[in-house]
């Protein structure tokens, strides 16, 4: 498999911060991977994602997307990435249709194929009858599904999902996971997934990296990690490696 | 194209925010109506005829009649006549019921006629070498009492005193001329002299030093409509800043920043839509001044003859306001912070800039400070267009200041956004 994302010895230190948020971290994500990025609160996941998206620059090291960096090829790197933030990053006073149309246009998509993509995705995620309802009238699960669609309208190579199933019911969660699996298997979309639902990560991801205190503590294929650490599940592996100490006190 | 979609999105978001729309358009309308009505009397007292004046006439003769007639003709006073003692008249003025009280003592007209006659007789006698010419005549003044409300400004008091003195001088002159006529008739019984014209020979032509001979007098409407419109336009910084912060908090800004192309397109769309809103505010407030205020008995707003320049100033003020909103929205970390900071800052700028109290009645120090406020720049430009028929050349300095303020705010917001991303 060819490499889609390469994080090469990256350090990120915020001004006036006592320590680096990301400390000499290196990892790779292959094309077609469903890659789980796990870690306690404050481990550096959001900082790493922000740097992958080109929002923050690295203090040291380099990040490559398809062999290109944000410094020299910002638009190409951004076009290759779709982001689904943890927050419902939608306009509550606009309908689902209006939200998706606006965001699709911001990705530079043409109106006709964009409308087709919106219709297809809304229909697949069971939202076609609510298309012209304002987002403010949606349930949490429905908002999460629209939030997901907004990140993949431009058919990105890498879909970054930050806790995509937080606060949703089982049905919506299953619909989201099933759809992501379909995108991965049928379209070969690479997925970078962060979550505190470790059972979900174990079921969904073929590769996992655990980071703590800004550094990579382990990475590998999901099953290999469980075997190598003599554990029954990823949750056990996670606790064995990161311990029980609170990180966000 | 992205800009158009961004504009369309902002349009939808703004028009569906009913509460926001109410604040944006109803708040300034109500402010203009209330403040203009409240300040109308104050402005009129400075500009127009409405000074309440009490006359206590104990003379009941020609002087009091002529004086009253002249005061009425001056169109400067609202006259009330009462029969009161001097002390009671003084009390009435002290209570604030009248700005001025005039007490005309008994026999004032008689005394005036008598002394005029004495002076004329002495003059005529001096021609004939009569002994009368060497006799002394009474040159003491006949005193009319004037009472002023204690809160009356010195300059205003002097103006009123001078006006009344001028009227009395004319009456004196008329009396002298009458006496002279009588004496001449006695000396030359067959003569048929023509009437001596005592109308003023030297007069003043007064006009406001404005362009195109415009003689618009600043009034409550001419001040309050542009002043509160500018206030509302700058108040737009709060919803704009709130909009930016909300996008940042709910992750929309994060999503937009991860998209290819410049985030500035989205910001530009937001800004242009808010400038558009501020222009609608401006047009609406002009309509209030033109059509609603006259229905309430207030003067109609005069917008001058330079509509394109007026729109240019409004556009520049709208840009300055949205630029400021953008800066507040970028720097503030929460909606509460933006609302508080934005509101307090705009209120301070409005107070300094002469929105609440016009700069022409401010102390000298405040007048000098007022020039730092963008609201003052806008207000001065509107005054220029409304009252002096200024054109582009005359308002250019104010427009340039507003545009510079916009560019500095925009640059500050851009720099701060970059700084935050880098750190």
Arithmetic mean of pLDDT over chain B: 85
Contact B9 A102 (CB under 8 A): yes
A150 to chain B nearest CA, in Å? 9
Contact B251 A53 (CB under 8 A): no
Contact A106 B261 (CB under 8 A): yes
Q: How are beta strands A207-212 and B77-81 bridged, if at all?
A: unpaired
Contact between A191 and A183 (Cβ < 8 Å): yes
pLDDT at A26: 94
pLDDT at B133: 58
User: Which parts of chain A have pLDDT scores under 70?
Assistant: 1, 244-249
| CA–CA dist B103, A234 (Å, integer) | 103
Please state the rounded mean pLDDT for residues B57-61: 89
Q: What is the tens place of the pLDDT at every residue in B139-177?
A: 677 888 889 888 777 777 887 788 788 888 888 888 888
A105 to chain B nearest CA, in Å? 7
Query: In this structure, how many other beta carbons lie within 10 angstroms of the beta carbon of residue B274?
Result: 26
Task: Choose among B254, B260, B423: nearest Cβ to A89.
Answer: B254
**A52: contact with B, CB 8 A cutoff:** no
A-chain CB neighbours of B8 within 8 Å are 102
pLDDT at B422: 67
Q: What is the tens place of the pLDDT at every residue in B183-225?
A: 888 878 777 777 777 777 787 776 656 544 444 456 788 888 9
| CA–CA dist B222, B382 (Å, integer) | 9
Task: Choose among A86, A94, A108: nearest Cβ to B260.
Answer: A108
pLDDT exceeds cutoff 70 at B134: no
In which residue are the tokens 């403010």 written?
A136
pLDDT at B212: 46
Instruction: Tell me the longest C-alpha to C-alpha distance in chain A.
Output: 53
Highest mean pLDDT among A88-102, B11-25, B76-90 belongs to: A88-102
pLDDT at B214: 43
pLDDT at B324: 95
For residues A64 and B250, which has the higher predicted lDDT (pLDDT)?
A64
pLDDT exceeds cutoff 70 at B369: yes
Contact between B75 and B49 (Cβ < 8 Å): yes
Residues A117, A121, A122, CA angle at the centre, nearest 5°? 115
Contact B258 A78 (CB under 8 A): yes
Query: In this structure, how many other beta carbons lie within 10 angstroms of the beta carbon of residue B291?
Result: 11
Task: Decide: helix, strand or coil at residue A80.
Answer: coil
pLDDT exceeds cutoff 60 at B307: yes
pLDDT at B318: 96
For chain B, give every domain's residue range: 2-6+15-44+217-422, 50-211
Partner B, chain A 142-181, Cβ-Cβ below 8 Å:
150-151
Tokens encoding A70: 């944000």
Sign of the four-CA dihedral B409, B410, B413, B414: negative
**A185: contact with B, CB 8 A cutoff:** no
Highest mean pLDDT among B3-12, B204-213, B293-302, B314-323 belongs to: B314-323
B340 to chain A nearest CA, in Å? 24
| CA–CA dist B191, A187 (Å, integer) | 124
Q: What is the tens place of the pLDDT at every residue in A111-168?
A: 999 999 999 999 999 999 999 999 999 998 899 999 999 999 999 999 999 988 888 8
Q: What is the tens place of the pLDDT at every residue in B309-331?
A: 999 999 999 999 999 999 999 99
Q: Where are the alpha helices (DSSP H) in B307-391?
A: 307-331, 335-353, 364-370, 374-388
Task: Choose among A91, A93, A105: nearest Cβ to B5.
Answer: A105
Q: Which of A102, A110, A149, A160 to mutate to test the interface with B (most CBs of B within 10 A)?
A: A102
**A124: contact with B, CB 8 A cutoff:** no
pLDDT at A36: 94
Assign a CATH topology to domain B50-211.
D-Maltodextrin-Binding Protein; domain 2 (3.40.190)
pLDDT exceeds cutoff 80 at B131: no
pLDDT at A116: 94
Q: Where are the alpha helices (DSSP H) in B104-219?
A: 108-128, 154-187
pLDDT at B213: 44
B-chain CB neighbours of A76 within 8 Å are 260
ipTM of this complex > 0.90? no
């Amino acid at each position: 498999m060819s490499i889609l994302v390469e994080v090469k010895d990256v350090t990120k230190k915020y001004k006036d911060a006592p320590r680096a948020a990301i400390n000499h971290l290196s990892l790779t994500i292959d094309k077609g991977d469903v890659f789980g990025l796990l870690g306690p609160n404050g481990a550096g996941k959001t900082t790493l994602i922000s740097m992958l998206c080109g929002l923050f620059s690295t203090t040291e090291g380099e990040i490559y997307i398809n062999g290109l960096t944000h410094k020299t090829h910002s638009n190409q790197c951004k076009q290759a990435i779709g982001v689904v933030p943890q927050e419902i990053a939608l306009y509550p006073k606009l309908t689902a249709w209006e939200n998706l149309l606006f965001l699709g246009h911001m990705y530079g998509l043409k109106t006709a194929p964009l409308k087709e993509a919106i219709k297809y995705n809304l229909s697949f995620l069971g939202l076609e009858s609510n298309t012209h309802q304002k987002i403010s009238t949606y349930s949490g699960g429905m908002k999460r599904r629209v939030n997901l669609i907004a990140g993949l309208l431009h058919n990105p190579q890498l879909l970054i999902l930050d806790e995509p199933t937080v606060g949703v019911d089982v049905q919506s969660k299953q619909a989201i996971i099933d759809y992501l699996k379909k995108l991965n298997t049928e379209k070969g979309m690479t997925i970078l997934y962060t979550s505190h639902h470790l059972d979900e990560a174990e079921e969904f991801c073929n590769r996992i990296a655990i980071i703590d205190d800004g550094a990579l503590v382990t990475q590998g294929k999901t099953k290999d990690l469980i075997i190598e650490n003599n554990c029954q599940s990823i949750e056990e592996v996670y606790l064995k490696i990161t311990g029980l100490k609170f990180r966000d006190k | 194209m992205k800009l158009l979609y961004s504009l369309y999105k902002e349009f939808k978001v703004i028009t569906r925010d009913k509460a926001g729309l109410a604040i944006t358009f109803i708040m300034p309308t109500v402010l203009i109506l209330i403040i203009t009505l409240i300040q109308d009397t104050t402005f009129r007292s400075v500009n127009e005829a409405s000074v309440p004046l009490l006359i206590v006439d104990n003379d009941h003769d020609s002087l009091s009649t002529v004086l009253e007639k002249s005061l009425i003709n001056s169109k400067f006073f609202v006259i009330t006549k009462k029969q009161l003692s001097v002390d009671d008249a003084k009390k009435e003025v002290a209570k604030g019921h009248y700005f001025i009280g005039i007490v005309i003592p008994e026999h004032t007209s008689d005394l005036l006629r008598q002394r005029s006659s004495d002076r004329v007789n002495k003059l005529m006698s001096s021609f004939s070498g009569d002994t009368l010419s060497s006799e002394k005549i009474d040159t003491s003044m006949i005193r009319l009492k004037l009472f002023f409300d204690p809160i009356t400004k010195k300059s205003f008091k002097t103006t009123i005193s001078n006006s009344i003195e001028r009227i009395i001088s004319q009456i004196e002159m008329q009396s002298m001329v009458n006496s002279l006529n009588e004496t001449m008739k006695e000396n030359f019984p067959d003569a048929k002299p023509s009437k001596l014209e005592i109308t003023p020979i030297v007069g003043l032509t007064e006009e406001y030093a404005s362009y195109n001979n415009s003689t618009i007098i600043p009034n409550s409407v001419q001040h309050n409509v542009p002043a509160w419109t500018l206030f509302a336009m700058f108040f737009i910084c709060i919803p704009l800043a709130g909009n930016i912060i909300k996008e940042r908090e709910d992750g929309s800004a994060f999503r937009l920043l991860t998209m290819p192309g410049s985030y500035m397109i989205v910001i530009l769309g937001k800004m242009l839509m808010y400038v558009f809103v501020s222009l609608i505010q401006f047009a609406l407030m002009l309509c209030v001044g033109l059509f609603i205020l006259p229905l309430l008995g207030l003067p109609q707003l005069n917008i001058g003859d330079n509509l394109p320049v007026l729109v240019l100033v409004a556009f520049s003020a709208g840009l300055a306001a949205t630029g400021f909103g953008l800066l507040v929205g970028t720097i503030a970390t929460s909606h509460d912070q933006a609302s508080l900071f934005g509101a307090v800052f705009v209120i301070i700028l409005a107070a300094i800039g002469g929105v609440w109290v016009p700069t022409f009645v401010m102390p000298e120090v405040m007048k000098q400070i007022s020039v730092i406020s963008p609201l003052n720049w806008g207000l001065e430009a509107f005054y220029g267009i409304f009252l002096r028929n200024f054109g582009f050349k005359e308002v250019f300095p104010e427009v340039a200041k507003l545009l510079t303020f916009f560019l500095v705010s925009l640059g500050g917001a851009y720099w701060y956004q970059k700084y935050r991303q880098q750190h």
